[in-house]
Amino acid sequence: MPLQDRLGVRLINRAGKLLQQLGFRGADFDPDRLEAAARRKARWDDFGSQWYRTPLEKLCASYADDPELTFVGRIFCRTTLVHILTNRLRVQRALHEDPGIVQEIVRRPLFVVGLPRTGTTFLFNLLAQDPACRPLMYWETMSPAPPPRPETYATDPRIAQARRQVRLLKRALPEFNGIHEFNADAPEECTGLLMNAFLSPVFGGLVPLYRQWLDEVSDADVEAAYADYRTQLQVLQRYVKGSHWILKCPTHVFAIRELLATFPDAALVQTHRDVSQCIPSLCSLHHVYQQLCYRNFDRREAGKLVAGIVEQQLNRGMRSRDRADAQGRHVLDIHYTETVRDPVATVQKVYAHFGYDFTPEFEARLKKYLAEDKHPKGPRHQYTLEEFGLSPEDLQQRFGAYAERFHVAPDAKTPK
């Protein structure tokens, strides 16, 4: 049963609607009140740079003007924003208490970038087997500050907190775990860090004003967001270091120029696959995720939303990459079939291309991981384009330039 149709949720929504009619403001989206709530929670006042106020205000205005957002959805979206603002305050507090954090050098980070379902998670997990590297953990993306300590890294209380959040998500949206698996103390993509930087297409709700801002965002604002992102990595690596970071997020495709401007010695692996294989599964993920916000979220609306996000990410991404890495020194292209066909050889290719040390211990751990890995390398479920209001012809028109540029051939089993 969809979340918003469950009896308890329906009762909360009805009670919330009545309270709103009576003037109750418990789930309002006034940016100043959200910041005040975060200050109380973080016990800190200074947000540092105020550049983020514009995207925050776009999100708040979108939520406030959304008549379809349920009361439970309003609580979810408001809680998310307060959590993000609290994280920003805690980062600033960490910088105040330890000024040496800003001197931390993020050396030679290795990024996996590409659309979901292009093998990013599989490749990311393979690269994270390097015993010398520093993978980002799920609990760290949720609460990056204060800096974790090596002596308590495996028992940090934020791990237990993240486990509770994962359990709640699985209860609320049991279908979600079959699409994207979360483990509190396992490597995870850095979507949380980018949300803290207000640069992410995965905020709950339709948020049209925020998505328009992303369409028109200036280079300066994206650079400011990546400065915030780097600061979070500096906090996280202050006491728990590695030879290099292993990081992954589809959003990085959107801003390759700014990513490389922030980390000039970064190495990027961009993964590719037929978009007709990626988009239906991504539509299903968004359709389930938006159940947190809406009672009835149409599949065609999910298709429209996802196609727009992917088009935005790839179009700006190709321009951004051309501006930053026209010679191909920083970005290596890997196709999905290549990773699945020979995972170890793919990792060796990445390490050889960028000059990382591929040690015998790393190779042994890779083979052990592959022998024990029980997760399927292909999609767990099949979805048709038509159920989301899309067609192969539509995708060809939208993404033909991308497919031609990166020699992305249709998969053998292309959804109709």
Residue pair 133/246 in contact (Cβ under 8 Å)? The answer is: yes
| Lookup result for tokens 């009140």 | 33
Q: Is residue 215 part of a domain?
A: yes
| pLDDT of the residue at 328 | 80
Q: Half-sphere exposure of 76 toward its Cβ, with a 13 Å CA cutoff?
A: 23
Hey, is 362 helix, strand or coil?
helix
Q: One-letter amino acid identity for 214?
A: L
DSSP per residue, 31-89: HHHHHHHHHHHHT-------TTHHHHHHHHHHHHT-TT--HHHHHHHHHHHHHHHHHHH
Q: One-letter amino acid identity for 338?
A: E
| pLDDT of the residue at 378 | 46
Give the total number of structural domains in the chain.
1
Angle between helices 299-324 and 275-289 in degrees, nearest 10: 120
Buried b (16+ CB within 10 A) or exposed e, 332-367: bbbbbebbeeebeebbebbbeebebebeeebeebbe
Q: Is residue 39 part of a domain?
A: yes
Question: What is the rounded CA–CA span in Å between residue 67 and residue 73?
Answer: 11
pTM: 0.93
Question: What is the rounded CA–CA span in Å between residue 340 and residue 348?
Answer: 14
Q: Is residue 99 part of a domain?
A: yes
Parent domain of 124: 3-405
Q: Is residue 110 part of a domain?
A: yes
Q: Is residue 411 part of a domain?
A: no
Q: Is residue 86 part of a domain?
A: yes
Hey, is 144 helix, strand or coil?
coil
| pLDDT of the residue at 414 | 42
Question: What is the rounded CA–CA span in Å between residue 129 and residue 149?
Answer: 21
Q: Is residue 212 part of a domain?
A: yes
Please give the DSSP secondary-structure letter assigned to residue 136. P
Specify the CATH number for the domain of residue 184.
Answer: 3.40.50.300
Classify residue 226 as left (phi > 0), alpha (psi -120 to 50) or beta.
alpha
Q: One-letter amino acid identity for 374?
A: K
Q: One-letter amino acid identity for 212?
A: Q
Question: What is the rounded CA–CA span in Å between residue 136 and residue 310?
Answer: 24
Strands laid side by side in the 331-335 sheet: 134-135, 245-248, 110-114, 267-272, 331-335
Q: Is residue 412 part of a domain?
A: no
| Tens-binned pLDDT, residue by residue, of the chain (416 aa) | 777 778 676 677 677 666 565 566 557 899 999 999 999 999 999 999 999 999 999 999 999 999 999 999 999 999 999 999 999 999 999 999 999 999 999 999 999 999 988 999 999 999 999 999 999 999 999 999 999 999 999 999 999 999 999 998 888 888 776 666 778 899 999 999 999 999 999 999 999 999 999 999 999 999 999 999 999 999 999 999 999 999 999 999 999 999 999 999 999 999 999 999 899 989 999 999 999 999 989 999 999 999 999 999 999 999 999 999 887 889 999 999 999 999 999 999 999 999 999 999 999 999 999 999 865 544 455 678 999 999 999 999 999 999 999 999 887 554 33
Hey, is 135 helix, strand or coil?
strand
